[in-house]
Structure 1
Amino acid sequence: MAYAASKSAVSMLAVHYAQAYPGLRVNVVDPGPTATDLNGHHGSQTVEEGAEAIVRAALLTSEGPTGTFSDAAGVSPW
């Protein structure tokens, strides 16, 4: 329960930062179930696959979206 609550808090913080600093791109990215040391390599995708959504968000230009939540499929509704 604490993990889900902390993720929700971070997401809301990102939205508030996006509103407070419209010149910046502040977004939340869910890389999905990625096989890492943290989960004993039980994720369904590689680190490279999980990084794709993160890199896509990192490469946004000043015209890109802000205050969004996205995953491998793209922007998701809150």
Structure 2
Amino acid sequence: MRSAAATLPRSGEVLVLSRAASVQFAGSNAILARVIRHHDWPTYDGWCWIDVYEITPAGDAVERRCVFVQVAGLRVVADPRDRGRRR
């Protein structure tokens, strides 16, 4: 998870959106998402609006969404498309 003074998510990052990010992702509603962009819309301190692609565990985009999340609750994970790529 990001710290309270965390930076905003960057385009291309893959996140797990769970209850830590917002109650809308409680229980089995957690999703894997690739960040498209964050909006600079005024909001509560520590929260932001982001555009994401909801993705499958294989990394395929299934739906575009705009979500309101708590920045400290965002968890960055490895991009599923990187599996099998050499470093």
Relative to total residues, which structure has the larger strand share, 1 or 2?
A: 2
TM range (shorter): under 0.3
Q: Please tell me whether Structure 1 or Structure 2 has the larger radius of gyration of its CA atoms.
A: 1
